[in-house]
Each structure stands twice: as structure tokens, then as C-alpha cells.
Chain A
Amino acid sequence: MTSAVMDAHHSEAHHEPAKGIKRWLYATNHKDIGTMYLVLSLVMFLTGGVMALIIRSELFQPGLQFIAPNVFNQMTTMHALVMVFGAVMPAFVGLANWMIPLMIGAPDMALPRMNNWSFWILPFAFLMLVSTFFMPGGAPASGWTMYPPLVLQTGDAFPFLIFSVHLLGISSIMGAINIIVTIVNMRAPDMSLLKMPMFVWTWLITAYLLLAVMPVLAGAVTMLLTDQFFGTSFFLAAGGGDPVMYQHIFWFFGHPEVYILILPAFGVVSEIIPTFARKPLFGHDSMVYAASSIAFLSFIVWAHHMFTVGMPLTGQLFFMFSTMLIAVPTGVKIFNWVATMWRGAMTFETPMLFSLAILFLFTIGGFSGLMLAIVPADIQYHDSYFVVAHFHYVLVPGSVFAIMAAVYYWLPKWTGHMYNEKLGKVHFWLSTVFINVTFFPMHFLGLAGMPRRIPDYSTQFTDFNAIASVGAVGYGLSQLLFVYVVVQCVRGKGEKASSEVWDNPKGLEWTVPSPAPYHTFEVPPKISSSSTFS
């Protein structure tokens, strides 16, 4: 394999990046594509954030102030679609593109042209999705879960919604194939599977999850399409179909999707904590097994999203128990991180701060997840703000914080300059305070009986909603600071970064200069015992 890699590289080796727009349009370099993914993700994050702020402004006080109820529903639907498929997933794919070749000592991704495709599909998919706001009937307003029959009431946007979901799926599948092939075939010669860094491991598992469930989502939305336009009745009771079946198929995709959004975050945390604790990751192998069992369990818990649809008793019990079981491997991961910190010599640079916040706040999301597993209690929590609080606690201080931690951690490697540590820390503290101000009160709202996805509410929910809205505005504005810090770093305003960047970090990515040259590891590296922790 080694010689194959080298041969393959003779023809294109050492050529410099093309100039101007062509460099990006025809990009096949994993670093360029990674950068494009990350930029797109940031744009989508801000877009989805604006929608969130519109939602929170409307909910600041009872009564309708700004938008009509149907526009509100479009906002919640698009916020979710944009954040899940536009912000979080592309960000992790971008990180994978940048870092996986650097971490396993590969010269590039295995399938660079497919890589170009899988990226360039995305901007068009999102343009199409966002353009639905201007169509008769407006943007999709049936929630990102797209439950029939409601989703079939979507106006002209409907086929565009389905088609953009198809495109997003194709992009994800191509990305996943690329990542798997890269990891399996292009590791440096001495890097056995169990020696792989955790970020690579979690991405390998994530890629298999993507490959397994994105096509199922594509199937489900295709059935919606044919139900709407071609007279089938997959989900229409009148023709012998069943709307609940859609929910089963959707969540068969949807629950693994949750882990697609969080496993790479686990990987990031597993990279960062050892570096700043100056101590090897505790229980590397058990982390791999934990991530794999989480992935496996994610296929048999889907109906815990549907405890109120009317399921046989045995079904309810099965899905309750299997869901509770997920707490075990998730706990193992948390405990292993704590053990990694234990008796280390910690310093608290921005990436470490974000990782520590993940440990605390993701765990809170995990606790509410465990509570949601209990069927009788779930009947009360379901579709209330308690659920909104829960999944924002796992997605924002879980996935989004991990993405930001990763950006701060690897930004000096990408740009060759340190970011402004002081501003980074300010960004961290603002984000962490405001995220709690935003989402913690939602637990109370849900328990007190406020349903989710409503544009207006009864007056007893006023105070916590007002607090949440203030927090959301604060969190949103704080992210502008993040943009500023990143832009300044990219523009080379910080001090020069060494190739190691941090205090003796482990991993192959720290053996190449900062900024990482356009082509790296054209000759596979030798792995010395000092460059990995295991």
C-alpha cells in the first residue's frame, strides 16, 4: 500500500494551489475542501442563528409581536434543518477533511474528486432550501421531522424540500464513503486500527452510521413525494397506509442521526483533554468499544421518540429499557474523560475550556435524556419545552461547543498563527453563561406544561421565556466575537505558531509545520512511540 500511495502522488505532487476561484471550484485538496466545509458551516450557523433569534424575539413575551403563526412554524422548521444539516454536520465533515489525513499520515482523502462533489452539492441544496421562503405557501412549516399528513400541506416548497433533503443525503453519503475509504486504506504503515486517534475512530463509526441511515431518510422522503404526487399511499390511511409508519422510518434514521451529530464531538473532546491534561487518554480501547456500542444501540431505540403514538405495552417496555441502556456506554465515556483529567497537569486554554464545558453541560443533557427514557415521565415531557431543553443541551454545548473547541485547537495548525487567547476565553465564558441562561429555563417551562413549537403562550410562562430570549440574544451576539477571533487569526494577526502549537501534544498532525503545507505526508510518516499516546 505504501508504494501505491507514493506512486499515486508522483503526477500531482508539489503543484501549488490554483489561483482564484478555480482553486475552490475544482478543489480536490483535502485542506481546501475542509476549509470550504467549515466556512459553509459557519454561514449556515449564523443563518440558523438568525432564525433562532426571530423565534426567541417572538417568544420574548406573550401575544404576537412580529410574525404570524405560520411564519413562526417555518422558522422553527428551517432553524432545525439548517442547524442539523447545514451547521453541525458540514462542520464535522470539514474537520474530518482537514484532520483525518493529517492524523493518520495520509497525503489526502482517498477519493478527492468525489470529495469536491460532496462539498459543492451542499451550497446548492441550501440555496434551494432557503429559497422556499419566497415560494407561495412559504417555507416548510411541518417541523424538521416532516411528519405526514401535515408535511403534505406544505405549499410549493414541498418538492424542493424533498429534493434538498435528497441532495444533503447524497452529499453526506459521499462524504462518509470517502472518510471510510481514507481511514481503512490510507493510514501510515504502523498505525493499526486500535492505534488510531479517537477523533478518527469516532468518525469511522459516524461514517458507517451515515451510510446506514441517510439512505433510509432518503427513502422515507421519497415515499412522501410519491404520496403527494404519484398516488401512492405509504402514509395515507385512506389508501391503507399509516402515518405512524413514517414516524418509525424517520426515527430509524433520526436516532442514529443524533449520534452522527455527537460522536465526532466525543472524538474532539478525546483529543483535546489529553493535550491539556498532559496525560494520555484514559481507556482508549474502552472508548472505542463505548462509541461502537452507542452506535449499535442507536438502531434499536428509535421509538422512544414516539411513546405517545400508541404502542403495544411490550414495545414501550423494550424501547424504554434499550434507551436506558445507552446511558451505560455514554457514562463510560464521561468517566474516562474525568479519569484522563485526574492527576494530570491541566492548563485551561480555550479549547480545553470548551471541552470541560462539554463535560458538564452535555452530562446535563444526558441526564434529561435518561429522564426522557422513562415512559410514564416521557408522556409528560414529550413535545414540551423539556425536550427542547434536552436536545439543545446535547447539541449546543455538545456538538457546537465541540466544533468550536476543535476550531480553536487546530486553528493555529491551519493558519500558522495563534488566535487571540484572551478573546477566545471571553468568547467561551459568554457562550457558556448565555447558553445556560437560554436553555436551562426551558426545563422549567416544559415541566410547567408549555408545548414546543408554539408561537405564543399563556401568561404564566412569561418570565422564563423572557429570560431564555435574553440569553439567546446574548449567545447570538457572542458568536460574532468568535467570527472576529477566527478572522483575525486567519489574517495572520496572532503570533506565529510552532509546529507543535501546544505543550507537547500527541498525534501526527503536530509533526507537520504550522501552517500545514498544501501537501503533507506524501511520504508516509514513521510513527514513533512519542507521537502517539497509545
Chain B
Amino acid sequence: MTSPLLSVRNLKVDIPSGSGTLHPVRGIDFDLHRGEVLCVVGESGSGKSLTSLSLMGLLGRTLERSADRMEFDGINLLGASGRQMRKLRGARMAMIFQEPMTSLNPVYTIGDQLIEALLLHRRMPRAQARARAVELLEKVGITAAASRLGQYPHQLSGGLRQRVMIAMALMCEPQMIIADEPTTALDVTIQAQILRLLYDLVREMDMAMILITHDLGVVARVADKVAVMYAGELVETGTVAEVFDQPLHPYTRGLLDCIPQPGKTGRGEPLGTIPGIVPSLVGQVDGCVFRTRCTQAGPACLGPIPRRSRDGHLFRCVHTDGYAPAETKAI
């Protein structure tokens, strides 16, 4: 087995506050290999964005990150200086956010922003940078690319802006892209086009991608590997087939039951639900975080939760197969 491009062990984020420390990310472990698409899926507030910002070294100052290991292509990210991280972000790892307007500068043209970044990171002559910018825009499927260079971000549709963001991310041919809900703000038609584009580019350029989403449909269609996040923890990790065809964690099963699935859910039949709310993550978090909403919960769920593996399909649950044994099943 080749060594992973990105290897993360026991990643944590703490946010100190007046009422105690918030623990929104607790003990994340995963490996990302070259050419692989890992989808991190979870509901809002589960810690997906904080996880990705931690990897990129973009957490705010008041947030505390720690890990046992965070290694990217042999580089220890935990020890990297601000300057080293900036260099890495420009050249080898890139990030795409949900709302491109927040990352594109509204007062500069698309051309200004693309060319400037190329001049900065690649130190190429201006004419060459311009040609490369046009090439990149064409690569992400923007027609009449040369004429777009003079346009401002607000003159583009949401889908086009996201394509420009992808072009910027590709500029230095990164080894890894982290895309945080890149299509959540877009229409379904545009979403499919953008996902197709990202997918094809990742394959073509042999990049690795972490795609963060709350949409199980996106995950099923794009992921090689899936990590299901709940309240700051990865509760289940496996290949896309493992997680969708044989979900082991009760939360994953619950989530899949909540969405209407043509052929599986009858029209108008009740959908599955996950009653209750996410617990507070302030102060010490003990036992299984999902137990308050879990159909399989029992007294053991208050104790330490083992990490189980079935041939590499990982999940955190006191029950060996994710189901409470019949005789001890809670009320």
C-alpha cells in the first residue's frame, strides 16, 4: 500500500468561551490517497468546515487545533510556519468554498485576480500568465474565456463564479483540493455540471479531493470513500459502496432513511426521522454523542466507545454490528 497523501490522526478543535470550552471537532482520523475523492458528510454544525479549515491552517486565532499527526505528502503540517502554510496553499493544496463571492474580490476583474495569483506563485511573464488564465477558464468550461477576463465577479452567474473559483484552485496544479459545499448555493442543473467538472478534473490531473457536503446524493455519486460526521466526530468511514449498501452506524442508517429514495420509499409514505437535537459540545463530552437520538442506545453508550473495523470499514459504536442485541435493546 502506498503511503497516503494526507494522513490525519486525532485532530481536535477547541474553542474557549466564557461558558466553558466548546469541542466542535473531536478526534478525527482519516487517510487520503492520491487520486481519491473523500466525501465528508454531515448535518450543519457537525464540524465539517472547521475540519477543513484546520487542514488548511486557516482557523481563526481564537480556535485551538491539536492532533497526533497531520502529514501532507511527507510534510508535518502541525509544525509548519504560517509562511510555509501560505506557500503550500498557493502551490500544493487548494480550497473551494460554498460562496465564491466571499473569496473573489469584488473590485477586481476575473483577469486581475487570476493573473495576479499566477504572477505571485509562478513568477511567469504577464503575457504568459494571461494566456494561462484563458487556458484555465477554458478548462473549467467557460466559453468566450478571453472576454471574461475583463468582467467583475458580480457580472457572472453563481455557476460561472464557482467555475472561476475552480480555475483559481487549479492554477498551480495542486495535489489536493478541499471543496467545502461547492454546489450548495447552486441550482441542481448547475450543481451536476460543477460536480462533473470537479470529478473529471480530479481524475485527469490525478489530484486528491476532500468534498464536504450535507447531501447524500452528491456523496453517492462522487465519493470513493465516505466519512460520516456527527457532532464533531467521524462516526463511520468506508468506501462509498460499504457505507451506502451496508451502513453500520445507527446515525448513518438514520440519515439514509430520512431522504426520499425513488424505488425504496413509497410516494407519500412516511420518511424516517431522527428525533431530538444535537447535544451541547461545551465541556467534557462523554460516551457516544449520538446516544440521545439513537434507536439502539443503552446504558453502555455512556461509557467509552470502541472504534470498530470490518475490513477497513470503520465505525464507532458499542454494538459490534451497530445494532443493540435484542435482549438489551432500550425501551
Question: Do A and B truly interact?
Answer: no
A residues whose Cβ falls under 8 Å from a Cβ of B: none
B residues whose Cβ falls under 8 Å from a Cβ of A: none
